Amino acid sequence: MISALTIAAVTAVMKSRIENWLVQHSAAASVGADVIVSALPPDRIATGSDEHPQLNLFLYELTPNTTIRRSDTTPVSRHSRGSASYFDLHYLVTAYGAADLQIEVLLGYAIHAFQQVAVLDRDAIRVTLDALASTEGGHLLPLPYAFLKQSGLAEQPGQMTLSPQFLSFEEQSRIWSALQARYRTSVAYRVSAVMIEQEARA
């Protein structure tokens, strides 16, 4: 079953990709401080002269993917005969920092991290979601991370691709104006296509 947790699972996988990349490449040493990676609306992030180095991944839009069509009677997974809807997920990746060049450095790391991932691989998704759901060491998991393994994302048929998107300055300005948040230079990405399965009626 490809569940309602699918969208959250995609965001968690992408966020984890950035976090792991920053650790592997010692990004903290480049900016002089530990880097926070978040998945929040930009208006929730404190900005100003004392802001912390941070990369934020924000899902700003979902659009229907009309290139994939399936019959309502065609099984979309091994466990259900429900039909499915397909969506493209649109993300902004934004960097924050109070010191010179921190923002530029962090944007470079984020771009570099996603350049390596043209396709969201099933095995990599499974490993990531297993790690995020691990209670090793006795720590408690924040919700909804404890449930993301139930999303079925790693079992989704077909490929999910990750691609950079060009947004003009006017398009970005409209987004930031709607968010009522202080504008920051951002890079945009699209994940295509993510499936959400409808439950079969009894």
Helix, strand and coil in the chain, % to nearest 5: 40, 25, 40
Return d(Cα 145, Cα 9) in angstroms, integer. 8
> Could you tell me which residues are beta bridge partners of residue 195?
86
Q: What is the pLDDT of residues 153-169, one digit of tens each?
A: 988 888 899 999 999 99
Return d(Cα 137, Cα 100) in angstroms, integer. 38
In this predicted structure, what is the pLDDT of residue 201?
56
**Residue 11 pLDDT more than 90?**
yes
Greater confidence, 91 or 144? 91
Which class for 52: exposed (0-12), middle (13-18), buried (19 or more C-beta within 10 A)? Answer: middle
Q: What is the mean pLDDT of residues 104-124?
A: 94
**Residue 200 pLDDT more than 80?**
no
* Beta sheet of 84-96, edge-to-edge order: 36-38, 54-64, 84-96, 186-197, 161-165
DSSP one-letter code for 151:
G
pLDDT, mean over the chain: 87
How sure is the predictor about 87, in pLDDT bands with cuts at 50, 70 and 90?
A: very high
